[in-house]
Chain A
Amino acid sequence: MGTQVKDVVIKPEAPNTLLLDKHADYIAAYGSKKDDYEYTLSEYLRMSGIYWGLTVMDLMGQLSRMNREEIIEFIKSCQHDCGGISASTGHDPHLLYTLSAVQILSLYDSINVIDVDKVVDYVKGLQQEDGSFAGDKWGEIDTRFSFCAVATLALLGKLDVINMDKAVGFVLSCMNFDGGFGCRPGSESHAGQIYCCTGFLSITGQLHKVNADLLGWWLCERQLPSGGLNGRPEKLPDVCYSWWVLASLKIIGRIHWIDKAKLRSFILACQDEETGGFADRPGDMVSSLWNCHIQFCICIYILHVISLGLAILYTELIILCGTFLPVLYISIQVDPFHTLFGVAGLSLLGDEQIKPVNPVFCMPEDVLQRIGLQPDLLN
C-alpha cells in the first residue's frame, strides 16, 4: 500500500534507560511557576493536568511529593451547584473534568470531600435518549463521554443509575468495518476512541461484543518501523498512543501482538534527559533532517573556503561551529500528559520499576484494589 511510511528515526544517542528520578522532579516542579506561559494557557484542562501529574507520581511511588491539601481544596472549589466539576475555578463543569476529579480523589481516598450524590445526578442527567452521553449541558456527543460517565460511576459504585442497555447499544453502534470505534456512529476508528470504548465495554461487562481478532489486528498495525505507535493509519507515532493502543490491546487480550522491545525503545527515546519528562516523539527528529541539510551546507562551504586558502579555513570553521551548532540540538517539548502515558505504557510492558497500572482506568492497580474495582479483561 504505497511506497513511503510516515515515521520517525530514532538517533543512536537517544535515551535508552528509564530516568524515573528526573521525571519525578519534573512533575513535582511543574506548575510551581504559576507564571509559566504553557501552564496558564492550559488552565482550561487543569483538573486533567493534575490527574496526569498525580497518577504518574503515584506510579513512580512519589505521590507524597505533591500537595494533597491544596489539591483537595481546589477540587472542592470546582464542584458546581449542578453537581458537575470544572477544570478550574471559574470554568464550567464538564464530564471530562468530573472524571479527572473523581480519579484524583480516589487516589487520595477522599471521595467524600465532594457531594457524591450530586455528581451521580449530574452524570445521569447527561445520558441521552439514544443511550449516548453529552459532555455537558451544551450537548456535544462523543464516545469519550460514554467512557467518562461509566468510569466515574464505577469509581463511585453507582453504575446502576444509568440505562445500561442503551448506553451499551450506543457504543456498539459506533463500531466500524475495521473493528474499531469512532466518536459517534459513522465516525472513523481512532485509537483514543477505541481505548474509551473498550474501557467502557470492560466496565459494563460487554467485552464479548468486541471483535477481538479484527480490532487486535488493526491495533497492532499501529506499530511503525521505529517501534512507536500511531493513532490510525498513515499518521506519525506519538508516545501517548503507547497508552491508548497498548491499554486497548491489554483489555482485549492481544498485547502480545506488538513488538514490546521495540516499543519500549521508542518510549525511552521520548524522554528529555535534561529537563525530565516525555515528549510526544523522540527528540532530534527535526535535527536529523537539519543535520543532513547542514552537513551538506557545511561541506559545500568548506570546499569553497579550501579553494580560498587553508588559513581562512580555520577561522571560518570556528565561526561556522558558533552559528550552526546550536541549531543541531533541536528537540521536542515535554509535558505531563505525554509523561504519564509514557510511564503508564512502560508499566503495561512490564517494567518492574513502575507500579502496575490498570489498563481500563489508567490508575495504579493498588488503588483500584482498595476500591474493590477489577473490571474484566479478555484473555
Chain B
Amino acid sequence: MHGRVKVKSTAQQEEEKRKEREKKLKAFVSARDAVLRKRSAGEHDEEALQLTQQLLSSNPDFATLWNYRREVLLQLETSREKDEVQKLYESELHFIEACLKVNPKSYGCWHHRSWVNTRLPQPDWTRELGLCDRCLSLDERNFHCWDYRRVVVKESGVSVEQELQFTDRLIGSNFSNYSSWHYRSTLLPQLHPQPIHSHRVCEEQLLKDQLLVCVCGRSELSVEKSSVLQAELQSCNQLLELEPQNKWCLLTIILLMRALDPLGHEKETLAHFQTLKEVDPMRSSYYSDLCSKFLIENTILKMEYAEVRVFSLSNKNLTTLCHLDQLLLVTHINLSSNQLLRLPPQFAMLQCLEVLEADDNAIESLEGLYHLPKLEEVSLRNNQICKLSDLESLASCTKLTRLDLRGNPVHKTANIDSELSQLLPLVTALSL
C-alpha cells in the first residue's frame, strides 16, 4: 500500500501489463485455493510446506499461511528425532531469511522467526545477532529488527556495555540514527538505575526528558550535572553564532538556561522564543504555549520568594494556563492583556480566589469558574463571551457580586440584562 507508483504508458504497454497481471493473479488464486483446500482436509505434510513457501515468499503478510505452516511443523516434530527437528527448523530459518530479504518489514516474518527459536532444540543466538547486524546495516530504522534484536540480546545474555558500543558504532556512521538513540535511552538506565521521583522533581524530569530528545544526535549528554549543562550551553551559544536560524540550537539553549537558572535567563529566553517562532512558524502555537508555561513557572518562583497571595500574569502573551495546582492560596489573580481562549476546569482549584481580572483576552469558555466559594469580583472586559450559557458556571460562585462583561459579544443577546439577573441574582454591580 505504501510507496507504489502508477506509471502511464502506451495502450500496447497497458495491454501487456494487464495480461501479465492476469497471469500472476490466476497463479496466485489457484495456489491459494489449493492451500486452503489442503488445510480444510486437515493435511499437514511436506506438500503443504511447499505450497505455503511458494505463496509466502511474495506474500509474507498472508498471516493465515504462517499459521498453517506452524501447524505443519508442529505435526512433523512429533514424528522426528531431536537432530531432525533441529534441521527442520534451521531450514525454516533459512526460508524466513529469504522472505526477509524481499520484505524486511513483515510482522508475520519476524514473529515466525521468534516462534521458530522457541521450537529449536538448540537456538544459535550468535547467528541471530549477526542477522540483526546485517539487517540494521541495510536499514538502521527497521524497528522490527530492533525489537527482534532485543529478544536475541535478552536470550543470549549479551551485556549492556556491548550493546552500548554497538549503538556507538551506528551513531558514528549514520545520520538517521534516532533508533540507536532510543535504544541507548533504554540501556543507560540499566547501568545507572534512577531513584523514584517526587511530584516536584517530576517537573525537572520533564525538562530533562525534553532536553535529552533535543540534544539527541548531537552528543552524549548526561543531563544530571550542572557543570556539564553549562559547558553544553556554551557550545550551543557558539553554534548559534554560526547558525542563528538553527531551531534545534535555539530550543536546546532555552531548555539548558531553564535547567541552570530560569529567573536569571528570563529575558534571553523570551528573545529566543521570538526567534524560534520566526524560524519555525509551523510550530509557533507550541512555542507560545511553552513560553507561557515557563513565564508562569517564573512568576510562581518569584511569588514563593516574596510570599504574597497576589498573582500577576498580565501582559505576558500567555496562550495557555498551567500549574494552577500551585496557586491554591492566591486571593487576587490578574490575567489581563494576554491571548487566553479559556479558563480551564483546573481553574476551579483556586479555592481562595477573591478577585479575578482577565480583561483583554479572547476568552470564550469559563468552564473553570465554578464552585469558587470566596470569589467576589470578576472582570472580563473585551473577551469573546458570546452566549448566556457561557456564563452558567458563575451561578455556583455564591459570593460573586461584581461582574464586568463590557466589550463581549454576549451584550447583543436579546434581553440580556433580565436574563443575567435571573441567572446571577446575587450580582449587584453588573457592567455590560
Contacts and interface: CB of A to CB of B under 8 A. Distances in A.
Given A1-B248, A335-B1, A35 B282 contact: no
A217 B63 contact: no
Interface string A175-209: 01111001110111110000000000000000000
Nearest to A189: B182
B36 interface: yes
B41 interface: no
A211 B209 contact: yes
A220 interface: yes
A138 B67 contact: yes
Contacts of B179: 188
B6 interface: yes
B55 to A, nearest CB: 10
B104 to A, nearest CB: 15
B182 A177 contact: yes
Interface stretch (B7-15, B307-315, B371-379, B395-403): B7-15
Contacts of B8: 326, 329-330
A41 B147 contact: no
Nearest to B202: A211
A233 B176 CA distance: 8
A92 interface: yes
B293 interface: yes
B4 A214 contact: no
Contacts of B125: none
A218 B64 CA distance: 36
A338 interface: yes
Interface in B1-41: 1-10, 21-22, 24-25, 28-29, 32, 36, 40
Interface string B286-322: 1001100100000000000000000000000000000
B35 to A, nearest CB: 9
B285 interface: yes
Most buried by A among B212, B281, B282: B282
A257 interface: yes
B68 to A, nearest CB: 8
A2 B63 contact: no
Interface residues of B, number: 61
Given A37-B21, A94-B63, A186-B186, A177 B7 contact: no
A211 B1 contact: no
A238 interface: yes
Interface string A216-231: 1110110101010000
B6 A1 contact: no
Interface residues of A, number: 67
Contacts of A40: 25, 28-29
Nearest to A139: B115
A30 to B, nearest CB: 13
Contact of B206 (A176, A213, A223, A327): A213
A327 B115 CA distance: 46
A239 to B, nearest CB: 10
A329 B282 CA distance: 31
B141 interface: yes
Contact of A177 (B3, B62, B209): B209
B203 to A, nearest CB: 10
B166 interface: no
Contact of B345 (A216, A217, A221, A379): A379
A213 to B, nearest CB: 7
Contact of A217 (B1, B29, B147, B286): B286
B282 A214 contact: no
A44 B63 contact: yes
B209 A214 contact: yes
Given A233-B178, A333-B6, A183 B143 contact: yes
Interface string B204-234: 0010011011000110000000000000000
B312 to A, nearest CB: 24
Nearest to B319: A256
Given A177-B212, A187-B143, A280 B282 contact: no
A176 B182 contact: yes
A327 B344 CA distance: 55
B44 interface: no
B213 A218 contact: yes
Contact of A333 (B4, B9, B36, B64): B4
A257 B186 contact: no
Interface in B114-141: 115, 141
B206 A259 contact: no
Interface of A: 1-2, 35, 37, 40-45, 86, 90-92, 94, 136, 138-140, 142, 176-179, 182-184, 186-190, 211, 213-214, 216-218, 220-221, 223, 225, 227, 232-235, 238, 254, 256-259, 262, 280, 286, 326-327, 329-333, 335, 337-338, 379
Q: Which 9 A-B pairs have the closest CB atoms?
A: A177-B185, A259-B282, A234-B176, A333-B4, A257-B286, A140-B111, A233-B178, A91-B64, A188-B182
Given A232-B141, A326-B9, A332-B5, 15 more contacts: A37-B21, A45-B61, A86-B64, A91-B64, A176-B186, A183-B143, A187-B147, A211-B209, A216-B286, A217-B286, A217-B290, A257-B289, A262-B282, A332-B3, A337-B1
15 contacts: A41-B28, A44-B63, A44-B64, A178-B185, A178-B209, A182-B147, A184-B147, A186-B186, A187-B147, A217-B290, A233-B176, A257-B289, A259-B282, A280-B3, A286-B5
